[in-house]
Amino acid sequence: MRDTMRDAPGVGLAAPQVGFPLQLAVIEDRKEYHSKLSQTQLAERQRRPVPFHVIINPSVVLTAEPSPEFFEGCLSIGRYAAIVPRMSSVTVAFLNERAEPVRIDATGWYARILQHEIDHLHGILYTDRMFPRTFCTQDNMERLWKDLSPSAVREKLDAANRY
C-alpha cells in the first residue's frame, strides 16, 4: 500500500481503495509534496510533513470546530477536486502496525488527511461531503482557483449563479 500511495502520489491510502475489506490505512505527507504550495498556502492549511505510518481500526474520538474549507482530491477519483469542509483538529485512536494502541492529536492538514482516510474505511468519499458546485478537474482548479481562497471561490461561484 505504501508503494501504491507513493506512486500516485498521494498522502494517504485506505485498504478498501485497493480492494481489501480491512479497517487499515497508510498515511504520509512528504515535504516534497509541499513544493507546489506557497508559504502562505502552507501556513493557512497548517501543512507540515507527516512521517509514514499505519492506522488500524481507527476511530475519531474528539473533534474541534470546522476549519477553513479547502480543495481535496482522492486517488479513488483521479484528477478531480472539490472544496470539502473538515474539522480543524481531531483525536484519533487506532492500532499501529505492531497492534499497539496509539492516540494522536492532529491539527491542520494532518487532521484533514486522517478524516479523509477514515471516511474511506466507512464507505464515504470526499464527494459525499463536498460543496457540489466546486467539483472540477484538478487542471481547472490549478488554472482557475489556485491563488484564491476556498471562500473566494465559493463567492465567485455564488455571484455567477445570481447573474
> How far is Cα 47 from Cα 44, in angstroms, rounded to an integer?
8
* Close Cβ partners of 7 (under 8 Å, ≥ 6 residues apart): none
Dihedral pair phi/psi, residue 7, rounded to 5°: -65, -30
Residue 78, CB half-sphere, CA atoms under 13 Å: how many? 5
> How far is Cα 136 from Cα 113, in angstroms, rounded to an integer?
20
Please say if 44 is a catalytic residue. no
Closest Cα partner for 18 from 6, 39, 1, 43? 1
- Taking every pair of Cα atoms in the chain, the longest distance, rounded to a whole number of angstroms, is 57
Residue 32, CB half-sphere, CA atoms under 13 Å: how many? 3
Marked catalytic residue, from 28, 69, 72, 117:
117
Which residues are identified as catalytic?
117
